[in-house]
Structure 1
Amino acid sequence: MATVVNVDLWEGSAHACWPGRLVDGIPEFEFRCAPPGLSTRRQLREAGLSPGGHEPFGRIRWGKAGRNWAWVYVTAYAKPSRIQTPAQQEAWNKAMQARRTCAAGHVADHCVRLADRLCGDHAYAADLASGRLQAVAA
């Protein structure tokens, strides 16, 4: 890890990032100190973009002792995200419907547990019947 004063940006200019750091040759910026034109994956996704196969330009760190970090990408190099075709969307909907369908035939609003494919209510009743749980007196 080396301390740097300026980082050469992708368009040729320099960005003062004191006290900047290079980690494995990649510039690391403090939270809210990255130059304009860089975005995280989440920010790209919100804008309907993806990194487009480009490597990250640097990373941002935040949190206590800088333990949390995220890659940042050059927004100008980002490409539009691919959109699902109707067939892909239909396949996704069928898969999610299967994951939400209980073995008892009930369609839950969440994915059922994999052990026995039961939703919350049916799983609780099955656990009571098998003796894995004891009923709580009210």
Structure 2
Amino acid sequence: MSSTTATPPPIPCTPAGVEEILPYEPPVHIDLRVTTEPVVLGGTAIDAGQQVFQILPAANRDPRVFADPEAFDPWRTDARSHMSFLSGPHHCIGAGLARLEGETVFTGLLERFPGLRPAGDPVRRTRDTSTRGLGTLPVRL
């Protein structure tokens, strides 16, 4: 009796696949708001006029929103529930373009290099306190 290992399907470069990437690497990581009235957040009273930071990658891993939030699951059905582009009146005006760019780039990369795999750990290069990027990302073709 021979054992065979099923090959996992490729990561979809569809809108859902890009949406699953965004919580891990949102364009902006920290957002600042100022309260306009007293509010209670997580049991803490905050006066009007106080600064409140939103840590978007943390919000994107809220177990009240996502089942198994730490798992990278490109087939997640509620992937678009993340806060990577904020929401409401503060929703990023460029969100649609960013999504299209992500889909185009990842689709092109995986079509050209179907065997593309990580070949080491990425090196972070922090630009400022609210955004971050990679200095290097070793890959194997």
TM-score band by shorter chain is under 0.3
Larger radius of gyration: 1
- Please report the TM-score for the alignment, with normalisation by the length of structure 2: 0.24
Greater relative contact order (CA < 8 Å, ≥ 6 in sequence): 2
